[in-house]
Amino acid sequence: MQSRTLGKSKLEVSAIGLGCMGLSFGYGPAVDKAAGIALIRAAVDQGVTFFDTAEVYGPFTNEELVGEALAPFRDQVVIATKFGWDIDQETGERRGGLDSRPEHIKAVTERMLRRLGTDRIDLLYQHRVDPNVPIEDVAGAVKELVQQGKVGHFGLSEAAAPTIRRAHAVQPVAAVQSEYSLWWRRPEEEVLPTLEELGIGFVPYSPLGKGFLTGKIDESTAFDSSDFRNMLPRFAPEARKANQALVDLLGPIAGKKGATPAQLALAWLLARKPWIVPIPGTTKLHRLEENLGAAAVELNADDLREIEAAASRISVQGARYPEQLEQMTNR
C-alpha cells in the first residue's frame, strides 16, 4: 500500500483508509464484535494505516471497537475521530443538535481517549460546523488539546471554504473530510481549490456513493430497516433506477482497466490530487480487499477524460440528504 501526506501537515497515511462507521452504525445492525475486530486487523495486515471513527457512531461503540482492534498496532496507525454532536455522555442518547462549545470539546475528548484506549488522537475533526459557536473558538479549543499532546492534528468535516480559512488561521487544519465521489462533486467548486491553496489534505467519505457505485445496488435492493439509506432521497427506488445509468457507463471503462466499478471510482479519486485519501467502509473482507486493490489501478489522461465524459452525460437524481441534514453541511 502506497502512502500519502495530508497536505502540509506531515501526517502520513495509507493512500486508502478505512471508514469504520458501518461496522457499528448506519448500514444495518452492528457486526459481531469479533468480526469487526478481525476486519480492522485484516486492513492493518494489508497496509492500511488510516482509520476513521466518531463518537456519534453507535454512539460510542465504534470508537471502543476501533480502539480495541488497533491496540496492538497503536504506534503504526493513525486514528481519526470526530466531536460535535449533543450526546448524553452517560446514556449515549443523541439529542439531535450540535455542541462545539470549547468546554464540551475538551470534556468529550477525554472520553474519546478512554474509549479508544490511547493517550492521543492523531486527527480530531469537528463533525459538523456549529452555527452557535464561532469557528475560531472551536479551533482555539483544539489548539489547546494539541499543545497538551492529547491531539495530533485538527480537522473539519463538511465545512465551507470561508469557515476552513477562519479555522486554519487559528490552528492549522490538517484535513477536511467531506462527501466526494463521482456522484457527489460539489467540493470541486470551492473546497478543493481552497485546500490546495492552503496545503490541507482532503478525505472523501462515501467515496463509493454509499455503496451505489459498486454496481451491487439497484432499484429493487431492500435495505435493513435500520439502514439510514432508507431516508436518503437519492436512494428512493425511482432515483436508484435513474442513477443506474451512471454505473452502466462506468462499468465498461472499469472492464478495460481490469478493475471493478468500485475500484475505478476509488482510482478516480486517487488520481484527482496526491493529497486526497478516500476512506471507503465495508463489513466484508472481500470488499475490503477489492477496495484496497484500487490503489494499484493507474488511470492515464485518456482514462480520466473518458470517465469525465461518461459522468457528464448523467444528471444524478435525488438529494443526497433530507433537507434538515443537508442544512448542516457546507457552512
Residues 6 or more apart whose CB falls under 8 angstroms from that of 105 comprise 83, 138, 141, 142, 145
Whether 204 and 267 have beta carbons less than 8 Å apart is answered as no
Confidence check: pLDDT of 96 > 80: no
φ and ψ of 45, to 5 deg = -60, -30
**Looking at the chain, how many residues does it have?**
331
Whether 102 and 146 have beta carbons less than 8 Å apart is answered as no
Beta pairing class for 12-14 and 18-19: unpaired
Listed as own residue / partner, the contacts of 28-35 with beta carbons closer than 8 Å and 24 or more positions apart are 28/223, 28/224, 28/226, 28/227, 29/224, 29/226, 30/58, 30/61, 31/283, 33/65, 35/283
DSSP state of 39: H
pLDDT tens string 304-327: 999 999 999 999 999 999 999 999
Place of cell 492515464: 300
Q: Report the pLDDT value the prediction gives residue 14, as an integer from 0 to 100.
A: 98
Neighbours of 162 (CB within 10 A): 12
Which percentage of the chain shows pLDDT scores above 90?
98
Closest listed residue to residue 36, CA positions, set 281, 290, 211, 291: 281
Q: What does the angle CA 139 – CA 124 – CA 100 come to, to the nearest 5 degrees?
A: 50
pLDDT tens string 62-71: 999 999 999 9
pLDDT tens string 260-282: 999 999 999 999 999 999 999 99
Residues 6 or more apart whose CB falls under 8 angstroms from that of 256 comprise none
Spot the catalytic one: 27, 57, 180, 205.
57
What H or E segment, with its residue span, contains residue 250? helix 237-256
Domains of the chain, earliest start first? 3-326 (3.20.20.100)
* Residue 321 known to be catalytic: no
Confidence check: pLDDT of 139 > 80: yes
Local confidence band at 295 (pLDDT 50, 70, 90 cut-offs):
very high
Beta pairing class for 85-87 and 94-98: antiparallel
Neighbours of 103 (CB within 10 A): 9
Place of cell 450526546: 87
Give the max Cα distance, the chain. 55
Q: Report the pLDDT value the prediction gives residue 94, as an integer from 0 to 100.
A: 85
Residues 6 or more apart whose CB falls under 8 angstroms from that of 327 comprise none
